[in-house]
Structure 1
Amino acid sequence: MPGDSLLLNIQAKQQHTYDAIVVGSGITGGWAAKELCGKGLKVLMLERGRNVEHIKDYTTANLAPWEFDHHLRLSKADKERSYVQSRHYSYREDNKHFYINDKENPYEEIKRFDWIRGDVVGGRSLLWARACYRWSDLDFEANLKDGHGIDWPIRYKDIAPWYDYVESFIGVSGSKENIPQLPDGIFQPPFELNCAERSFKQKIERAYTDRKVIIGRTANLTRAVKGRGQCQARDLCHRGCPFGAYFSTNASTMPAAYATGNLTVKPHSLVNRVLYDEGKQKATGVEILNTETNKTEEYYAEIIFLNAATVATTFILLNSTSTRFPAGLGNGSGQIGRNLMDHHKGLSITADIDGFEDSYYYGRRPTPAYIPRFRNVTDQSPDFLRGYHYGLSAYRGRQEHDAAIGSALKEALAEPGQWGISMYAFGECLPYNDNRVTLDTNKKDKWGRPLIAVDCSFRENENAMHKDIAATGVEMLEAAGYRNIQVNGSISFPGNANHEMGTARMGKSSKDAVLNSYNQMHEVPNVFITDGSCMTSGSCVNPSLTYMALTARACDYAIKALKKGNI
C-alpha cells in the first residue's frame, strides 16, 4: 500500500539520521568524532577503507624481518599494484596492507603528484611520522607580510589554548626551549640526544647564534597514560603499535568516542557528495557508495565535518554540484581545489664523525634531532621567501671487516663501526593559485565517478630554498669538523612529504576563501572542514598538530552554534 511505503521510507531515513557526520577517520576525523561525541552528539563516522581494530589488526607488529616473504622488501607485484604508494619510503612489506591499491583507485597526474593514501579505519594516523610542532605568528602572518596568498583569519593566540588541549590528550614528548618561532607546548619528558648529537649541538650552537639543535617533538608517549603504554623505542610505529604508545585514531580518539556510546563507524563507505537543500540553503547529509555492495546510500545530519584528507575532500566538494553551486559546494569564491601545497624535501646530507668509539646508544628512538627554522626569521634572504627546518640523527653502522665466514665473521659483525650523521630538511611551498585539483569528467573511475586530476609543481622559490638547504647543511657539518661530507638526492615531487594542504582555504571573506576563522564554510554554515585542505599557507613545520588543534576548536564552535540555533 502507498501508506506503508511512505512509512518505510520515513523509518529508513530516521535510521540513517544522526546529529553529525564525520567524513574520514584519520587524524582530524578521529578528533572530530571524539569532540562531537563527547558533547553528546550522535555521530556517524564514514571511512572508505576497511576496518582496523586496535591491536588485533596490527598483524605484523611483532614479526622479525626473516618472517616476511621478501625480508621487508617490495615484490614486483607490490610495485605494480601500488605504483604510487611505492614511490614513498614508508610503503613496505610490513605495512603495505594499510595502503590503497593504486590500480583500483587511479587519478590523473597532469604533473607528477605522489598521493600517498591509507585505505583503512584510522587512515594515515596509523602511518604518520608523529612530528608535533606548533606554528607561530611567523607562519600565520607570512602571507600578509610578503603578499603571497591571503591573510590567515587567525593568529597564534587564537589557537594556543587548543594546542594545549590537544597536546595534553595525545601526549607529546619534547623539551622546552624558548624559541620564538617554535613555541613550547605541554610536553612529556623528552627522548635523549645521543653522545654524538650532544657534541654536534654544542658545536653548532657555539658557531651560530641563530641556530639550536633540540630533540624532536613527537606524539610518542614517554610516560604511559590511561589505555596507552609507554614507547618501547622499537621504531616499528608504521606497523601499528600494540602498546598504543603513539597517537592514532585507533588507539586514542576513537576509543574515547566509543566510550560515550555516541559513535557509529561505517567502513567501506566512499563519499560521493554532500547533499544540499536549495530551499534551506544548508547541507542535509551525504551520499556514499558502499564499496562492498556497489550501491549508493544516503545519510543525514545537522552538521557535517569533512576530514577525508585534502585531495579527497576537494573531490567531494567539487562533485557536490547544485543549482546554487554549479562549480562545487560552497565554491562561490572559485577557490576550491586551488593553492595546493606540500613541503619539499629529498636531500640526504651525510658525514663521518671521528671519536666516541667507546659509546653507543640503546633502542631505536622514534624521533630525530631537530634544527628549527632560522632562515628569514629576522633578516630576509635575497634568494627566497619563507624557510625550512632540518632533522638529523647520529648513528653507528657496522664495522668494516675482512672476515669471510664462521666465528670471526660473527664477532666482526658484533662490533659497531664508524659514527656518522645524516641530515634532511623540509621546506615551505608558497600558495600558488594554479597549483590545483580538478575533476576530469571525461574520465571515470571504477565506480563511474569523475577522475581526480592534479596539476601541481614546485617553483623558483622552492628550488632556490632547496639549494640553500644543501649548501647550509654542508656548511654546518664542516663547522662541526666532520669529514667525508656528501649530498645525495634531489627535490621531491609534491605529495611525497604527505603534507598536502590548502585547497579549501580559511580566510576573512567569502570572496576569496572557502572557510571562516572557525573552519566553517562561508556559504554553507553547517559544513566544517578541518583537514589539510583548510590551510591558508604551509609553513615549514609539520602540520598535523595544527590540524588537530583547529579541529577541536571548530568542534567547540560548531556545538555552541548548534545549541544557539545558528546552524
Structure 2
Amino acid sequence: MSSTSSFDAIVVGSGISGGWAAKELTEKGARVLLIERGRLVRHGEDYTGEHKAPWEMPFRGFGDRLLYERDYAIQRRGRGFEEGCADFFVNDREHPYQVEPGTDFSWLRGYQLGGRSLTWGRASFRLGDFNFSENKRDGHGIDWPIRYADIAPWYDHVERFIGVSGAQEGIDVLPDGQFLPPFALNCIEEHAKKGIEQAFPGRKMINERTAVLSRDHNGRAACHLCGPCQRGCSTGSYFSTQSSTLPAAEATGLLTVMTDTIVAGVDYDPKLRRVTGVRTINSKTGVHETIGARMIFLNASTLGTLHIMLNSKSEAFPNGLANGSGALGRGLMDTLKGPIIRGEFSGFEDQQPIGNRPCGIYIPRFRNVAKSDTDFLRGYGYQGSGTRALWTRGADLRAIGADLKTELRKPGPWTIMLGGMGEPLPNADNTVRLDPAKVDKWGLPQLLVSFRWTKNEERMAQDMADQGEAMLRAAGAVKVSTLREMKPGGETNHEMGGARMGRDPREAVLNGFNQAHDVPNLFVTDGSCMTSSPCQNPSLTYMALSARAADFAMAQLKQGAI
C-alpha cells in the first residue's frame, strides 16, 4: 500500500453535494482532491443517448428486458431508468447489498463522475422553520440544530448559482427563493388549479420549482424542451456537477479529480483526534493507496457514506468512525412515495402541449399545518403534471385494424396525474449495518439494510389517495383512477439519515455545521446528515448545507482549529 501527498481537503463523491463541496472549498483557496468511485463522464460527449430516437436504439427505447431483469432488477425501479441512460445506473449484480428478511429497500445508484446529478428529477424546494422544528413539535426523533435563518442565505447562494425556475407564491410551508421565471402551466393545469383552489381554500397548485433554466444563466443556455433530461444535457440547461460546480472548481486550478477509486475507509489518529486521510482501491487495477488530507468531506450518497464510516473502525471507534453517540447507521429515511391518482378531463380539444417541459406541478403540504387535522402525524404534498394522451393509449381503445390506426392518429383526452410524496416519522429501527458474512468483489463488507414503513405512513398514504381523488373531481375530472400503492423505501431516490445532525454529541453524529462531534476535521454534507425527512425534495437543502459547511470548515482551517 502506497501513500501519496496530502491535500487541504478530500471530497468523497462527486454528485450533487460533493460537487458543491469541491466548488466552495476550491473557491476559498483549498487544494482539493475529488474522489469518485465510478467512471469518468465528460460533459456532452459522454451523454451517448441524449437525443437518440427510439428507432436508433437496439431495443427501440424499451431496453433489453432479460438484461435488466438479471443485472438491473433494483435500478429499473427508479424514475428515469431507460435504454437511453441505463449506463448511468449501477449493475446490481456487480454491486450487491443485503436487505433484512421481512423488510424492503431499493438502493438506487449511479457510479460515475456527477453521480445522480445526471439523472435526478431537479425539483428544488426549500425547507422552512415549519420543517426544522417539526421533530421538536411532535416529539419524534431529535431536534434539528439549525433553523431556517441559519440556512436561508445559503439557499440564496445556491439558487443564484445553479438557476432555479419558479414563482414567488408566499406560502408559509414552502419558502420562496431566488427564482428565474417559471415554466408556464398548460391549459389543463390552469383549469385544474382554478378548480382545486376554489373548492379547497388554503390549498395551492403551483409551478414546480426546478433546477432547469427558463432563460440563459451564468453561461448556460435556456432549456429547449427536448425532454429526456435523465440522459444528460449537453447545453447545461439543468443543474449537474458536470454543467455547473465542476467547471467552477476546475477554474480555480486547485482541483484534482480521481475517478474509478473506491474509498474503503478513513484513517483516524487517536493522538491528534483527527482523521488523516482515506484508504482507496483502484476499481480497475486493484491497487491500494492511502491519501492524506487536512480535512475530509464525505459526500458518497447516504448509504455510500454510511458504508465508509461503518467500515472505518478503530480502537477509538470500534462501531464506526465518529460514532461515540451510537447513532451511526440508525434512522434511515426516505420520502414516502405514495398513491398515484389520475384524472381524465373533457374539453380543450383544440389545445396541444408545447415541447417536453422539464417540470410539472406541485401541491404543497396542507395537512397538519395550522392544527392537527388527521389521524396521522406530519404531512405530504403532490407532484404531477397535465398531459394529453397520444398513441400509447392504444390498449384502452375499443377498436381494431384500420379503425384503431385512425383513432391513434388523433390526440386523446387531457389527463392530470398527482403523485403523493409524504414525510415519514424518524424511526431508529430503520438501520444500515455491515453484513457480518457477505463481502463484495473488493473484499469490503456489504451493507445490510432494514427498512419498514409504519402505521403512520400507511394512514398518510390512504389520505393521499382520498384527497387526491377529491381534488381532481373538484377540478372537473370526468374519470378518476387511483393506484393505491406505497412504494418500498428508497424508490423515491431520497434516502437520507443515518449520520444525523443534532446539538448533543450523545445522540447525534454531526453538529449544526455538518461537522462530526467526535472528529473536528470530518464533515458529512450528503443526505445522511438529515435529521428528518420533509415531504419536499431534499437536494437543494443538501447543496445549501454543503456550501455552508465548506464556509465554516475553511474558516476553522485558517484559524488552525482543524
What TM-score do the two structures reach when normalised by structure 2? 0.96
Give the whole-Å Cα distance in 1 for the aligned partners of 2:200 and 2:401: 46
The equivalent of 1:293 in structure 2 is 285
Match 2:115 to one of 119, 123, 134: 123
Q: Which amino acid aligns with 2:178?
A: I
CA contact (8 A) 1:125 1:249 kept: yes
1:339-384, Cα deviation, whole Å (9 max, x unpaired) = 0000111422112111111112201111111100000111203410
- 1:106 maps to 96
Aligned residues: 554
Q: Secondary structure of 2:334's partner?
A: coil
Indicate the larger mover: 420-429 or 477-486.
477-486
Cα displacement (A) at 1:484: 1.6
Please report how far the alpha carbon of residue 412 of structure 1 lies from its aligned counterpart in structure 2 after TM superposition.
4.7
Structure 2 unaligned runs (5+)?
392-396
Separation of aligned partners in 1, 2:140 and 2:429? 13
Specify the alignment match of 2:26 in structure 1.
37
Tell me the residue number matched to 1:72: 61
1:332 matched to 2:327? The reply is no
**Which of these residues, 536, 549, 556, is aligned with residue 554 of structure 1?**
549
412-421 vs 282-291, which moves further: 412-421
Give the letter for the 1:184 counterpart.
D
Check the 8 A contact 2:465/2:484 in 1, yes or no. no
Matched with 2:174 is 182
Q: Which amino acid aligns with 1:54?
A: H
Equivalent residue for 2:401?
Answer: 404
The counterpart of 1:157, out of the listed 140, 149, 162, is: 149
> Which aligned pairs between 1:259-278 and structure 2 lie closer than 5 A?
259-278=251-270
Cα deviation, 1:419-465, whole Å, max 9, x if unaligned, reads 11111111011111110100012221111111110001111111010
- Gaps (5+ residues) in structure 1? 1-8
Name 1:510's counterpart in structure 2.
505
Identity %: 50
Shift of 1:415: 2.6
Counterparts of residues 364-383 of structure 1 (less than 5 Å): 364-383=356-375
2-structure distance, mates of 1:59, 1:482: 40
Residues 218-244 of structure 1, C-alpha deviations (whole Å, 9 max, x = no match): 000011123321111122110000111
* 1:171 maps to 2:166: no
Q: 1:403 Cα deviation (Å)? A: 7.6
Matched AA of 1:135: L
Native 8 Å contact 1:456 1:494 kept in 2:
yes
| Partner residue in 2 for 1:5 | none
**Inter-partner Cα distance in structure 1 for 2:330 and 2:336:** 18
Displacement of 1:278 in angstroms is 1.4
Report the 3-state secondary structure (helix = DSSP H, G, I; strand = E; otherwise coil) of the residue aligned with 2:427. coil
- Find 1:83's aligned residue among 66, 70, 73: 73
- The one-letter code matched in structure 2 to 1:422 is M
* Counterpart residue identity of residue 53, structure 2: A
Q: Distance in 1 between matches of 2:384 and 2:428?
A: 33
Matched, 1:46 2:35: yes
The SS at the match of 1:299 is strand
Secondary structure of the equivalent of 1:164? helix
199, 205, 225: which one aligns with 2:197: 205
Cα distance, 1:135 vs structure 2: 0.4
Counterpart of 2:471 in structure 1 is 476
Distance in 1, matches of 2:72 and 2:267, equals 32
- Secondary structure at the aligned position of 2:448 is classed as strand
Correspondence for 2:334 among 342, 345, 358: 342
- Give the equivalent residue in structure 1 for 2:394: none
Moved more, 359-368 or 490-499: 359-368
Identify the residue that residue 272 of structure 2 maps to in structure 1.
280
Matches within 5 A, 1:351-500: 351-398=343-390, 404-405=401-402, 412-500=407-495
| Alignment correspondent of 1:3 | none
SS in 2 for 1:375: coil
Q: What are the superposed Cα offsets for residues 38-87 of structure 1, whole Å, 9 maximum, x if unpaired?
A: 11111001111000000010011111011111122132112211121122
Q: CA deviation at 1:265?
A: 0.6
Would you say the 8 A contact 1:332–1:511 is kept in 2?
Answer: yes
RMSD: 1.5
Cα displacement string for residues 76-111 of structure 1 (whole angstroms, at most 9, x for unaligned residues): 112211121122242111101111111111001112
Whether the 8 Å contact between 1:428 and 1:538 is mirrored in structure 2 is yes
Q: How many angstroms apart in 2 are the aligned matches of 1:529 and 1:48? A: 17
The answer on whether the counterparts of 1:34 and 1:254 sit within 8 Å (CA) in structure 2 is: yes
Post-superposition offset of 1:391:
1.4
Letter in 2 for 1:404: G
- Between 298-307 and 88-97, report the one with greater CA deviation: 88-97
How far, CA to CA, are the matches of 1:159 and 1:193 in structure 2? Answer: 30
CA contact (8 A) 1:403 1:412 kept: no
How high is the TM-score relative to the length of structure 1?
0.96
User: Which amino acid in structure 2 is aligned with residue 67 of structure 1?
Assistant: E
| Match of residue 63, structure 1, among 46, 52, 62 | 52
Q: Distance in 2 between matches of 1:389 and 1:276?
A: 43
* SS of match in other structure, 2:279: strand
Deviation at 1:16, TM superposition (A): 3.0
Kindly state the Cα deviation for residue 401 of structure 1 after the two structures are TM-superposed: 8.2
Instruction: Please tell me the residue identity of whatever aligns with 2:214.
Output: T
For residues 244 and 124 of structure 2, the distance between their equivalents in structure 1, rounded to whole angstroms, comes to 16
Q: Distance in 2 between matches of 1:311 and 1:383?
A: 32
Q: Which amino acid aligns with 2:545?
A: L
Q: Aligned residue for 1:142?
A: 134
CA distance in 1, matches of 2:501, 2:533: 12
Report the secondary structure of 2:512's partner residue: coil
Q: Is the partner of 2:465 in helix, strand or coil?
A: helix
Cα distance in 2 between the residues matched to 1:519 and 1:78: 38
Distance 1:303 1:142 in 2: 32
Residue identity in the other structure for 1:323: E
Retained in 1: the 8 A contact 2:161–2:218? Answer: no
> Are the aligned partners of 1:50 and 1:119 in contact in 2 as well (CA < 8 Å)?
yes
Query: 1: CA distance between counterparts of 2:145 and 2:435?
Result: 32
